[in-house]
Amino acid sequence: MAKHQSKTFRKKDLSYSQQVYLEVHDNCGLCGTPLDFQVVSHGALPQIKEMATCPNCQITTRQKDYPIH
């Protein structure tokens, strides 16, 4: 059985476009504060919900459901 290997990365190991993507994805578009992410399982439904909120602006910037295969 193969072991899962966790790989950590440093921001400097990423390409410029990868760094830009992470900056846009992980920070509030209004104030630039790092977002708080929450992932919730819907129990009986085969999906999870990702919610991103800004602790500074107190707004939800993203809410998306993902199917579990």
pLDDT in tens, 18-43: 888 888 889 998 999 999 999 998 77
What does pTM read for this prediction? 0.66
Residue 27 lies in a domain: no
Residue 44 lies in a domain: yes
- The count of structural domains within the chain is 1
Residue 65 lies in a domain: yes
Residue 14 lies in a domain: no
- Position 52: which residue type? A
Count the Cβ atoms, other than its own, within 10 Å of residue 9.
8
Burial string for 20-51 (b: 16+ CB within 10 Å, else e) reads eeeeeeebbeeeeeebeeeeeeeeeeeeeeee
Q: What is the pLDDT of residue 9?
A: 63
Residue 23 lies in a domain: no
Distance CA(12)–CA(6), nearest Å, equals 18
Residue 3 lies in a domain: no
Residue 7: CB partners within 8 Å, gap ≥ 6?
A: none
Range of the domain at 45: 33-69
